[in-house]
Amino acid sequence: MIPFSILDLSPIGEGETAGDALRNSRHLAVKAEELGYKRIWLAEHHGMPGIASAATSLVISHVGAATSRIRIGSGGIMLPNHSPLVIAEQFGTLAALYPDRVDLGLGRAPGTDMRTARALRRNMDNGVDTFPHDIIELQRYLGPEREDQAIFSVPGTDTNVPIWLLGSSLYSAHLAAALGLPYSFASHFAPDMLMDAIAIYRERFQPSATLDKPYVMVGVMASAADTDEEAKYHFTSAQQQFINLRRNVRKRFPRPVADMDELWNEMERINVDHTLQYAMVGSPQTVHRQLEEFLRVTAADELIISTPIHDVDARLRSIEVFAGLDGLFSKS
């Protein structure tokens, strides 16, 4: 039994507004807390009509204000889009508002297309290449005050907000191990390097002031319902979204459809099935079997679940099903 957590992108569904999406994220956080999930994280994406979590720190505060125990944080903040000091101030503020509840997950991808990334960053010369140094700088802003310190994060200094490293490649595994940080792998959309990344992280982990042994979180897409058929129906929204990304079609999060064969060609089906090979889709009995095997193979310390379901009631039902998986779900 391990802790389960939630990854949310505040999806803006067809027929809905950004306000609807943010209210749905709030409902999801409240339900997750009631069910005993450990944390709910929001992800930074920009310029996407189907995602409302661009101002990630604000959305984290939005769900934090509606809850009292569940940990809140980022899954993640794309650090190359920001200066470390700005992020230290934002998460220092969150830590002041919600003490001992805030996590800071960091990624190095832009979370958008390159034109939008240029609009965000202005200067594309730095960012990815300075990522390890920016993490260390950010740790210093959030850590205790030092005698030689000239620049301060207010709020931020001495909040010691836990930093996680997120990734979908071997690079992130090496870096998380070298820095002694907890590691979350994006197996929900990047399955190919999962096992190699976990092995590298565990083998090369260097204990740090914040973590004395490796800690691995793995991600899965999920659509659970009372029957396999209903779960598969709701999951067609995620399948459509991945097709749209590959076609470079920007739309709001799609409604589910009865038959995906009317929408994708054979190559698209193969590609989406491969990308989502670790998705947990089905009835309580089906997802229990799928998840039990996945956790056995990965030996993960924690699971984070993304529930890309158009209907908010079905989304809430899905996380309820996972919370009821006897022998797997450890209530926080």
Give pLDDT tens digits for 267-300.
999 999 999 999 999 999 999 999 999 999 999 9
Looking at residue 115, its pLDDT comes to: 78
- Going along the chain from its start, the domains and CATH numbers come out as 4-323 (3.20.20.30)
Whole-number percent of the chain with pLDDT over 70 = 96
Whole-number percent of the chain with pLDDT over 90 = 83
**Tens of pLDDT, residues 107-130:** 987 666 777 777 776 666 666 678
213 pLDDT tier (thresholds 50, 70, 90): very high
- CA 214/CA 181 separation, integer angstroms: 8
CA angle 223, 229, 231 (to 5 degrees): 10
**Tens of pLDDT, residues 25-39:** 999 999 999 999 999
Residue that wins the pLDDT comparison between 150 and 59: 59
Per the prediction, the chain carries an average pLDDT of 93
